[in-house]
Structure 1
Amino acid sequence: MSLLTPCPERQLLHRRSIDVQVYARADGLYDVEAELKDSKTRDIPLAHGVRKAGDPVHDMLLHLVVDAQLNILSSSSQTRWMPYPGHCDQHGEAYGRLVGLNLLKGFRAEVKQRLAGVHGCTHLTELTQVLPTAVIQAFAGLVIDTREGSADGQPPFQLDRCHALRSDGAVVQTHYPRWYRGASARPDAQALPASSSS
């Protein structure tokens, strides 16, 4: 499917940017810094006065320390720009509840349990959802072996996690032949009903 052609007559109203940076530390751990910013192209009235066009409505930061197994060892947040100063930033150490979670093992469901609704900030909680894939991208080929798989004989983690890397597909057959399984081993094959002849 080709990308839609934008209307030639349009005006930008809102911009949300998400930036995730992952750093290798000297102690063998990793810093993850995730930032979310919202801004408008026009002045808007907020509870504490007018926010000028281009100034952030939201500017929020999550900082995690993770190990090579993607366990979260430390976590904190900072709200720098917000619509309700003195309120939006008063969620205390809510994002410290991420400590002990693993970015690859039920992370998104656990975040929902711990921080959904009034237990956290909508925007910071939403920002957590991009962390697993961003950290995996940082670790791919350096911390995680994306070619040979794990030491216990498991295939590379990325196989069967998207349509291009399905174990019965051409990409796996060409680039990961050891792990190619053909159509009969497709992960969803068992879920498909058997065809009946009538």
Structure 2
Amino acid sequence: MTGTLRRVNVRRVSIDIRDAYRRALDAFGQRVHLIRPGQWEVVTPCVDWDVRALVNHLVNENLWAPELLAGRTVGEVGDVFDGDLLHDDPIKAFDTSAHDAVQAAFAEGALERTVHLSFGDVPGAEYVTELFADALIHTWDLSQAIGVADRLDPELVDACANWFAGAEEAYRQSGVIGEHADVPVDADPQTRLLAAWGRRA
């Protein structure tokens, strides 16, 4: 995510955000490895994205992460990550990009470094938190599309929900997510989190 949001002051997650990010990407990657040959064109809960486009989106974010966490600007990176990044081996493309993104998040000083996004500068920790949340929610999207178990890690769900409570309105005003979905009063934490992101679980 190179940035379509306004900068907002939000609370931090309750666990090590680098580990949360790694675990979220691992979970998404597990689903990527379950994609069958005929499923790459299957529609996902994300408007206008099929499975291939969704995986390409995550690869795009993964490739941006090392560059931005190293202090480069969007202008300096340019359009090198535009277009199809999966080529003829989508699984390898994701695995390689995820490994490099996690390494960048764990690099010394990455969370304290200023990250230059298109809408402004943010601390590295805030940027990695946004990446974590995106990977977590898209894990559910991919699970729905390919028909595999859609239960997310409860600890990651709680961490994301605590953070997103302070970021939800900015995401919605920026048009990144849809309207808050209706949920029963006794809905479980995952269903409530997905509803906040505009998903109907």
Q: Normalized against structure 2, the TM-score is what? A: 0.28
The higher-RCO structure (CA 8 Å, 6+ apart) is 2
From the CA coordinates, give the structure whose radius of gyration is larger. 1
Q: Normalized per residue, which structure has more strand? A: 1
Q: Normalized per residue, which structure has more helix? A: 2
Q: Normalized against structure 1, the TM-score is what? A: 0.28
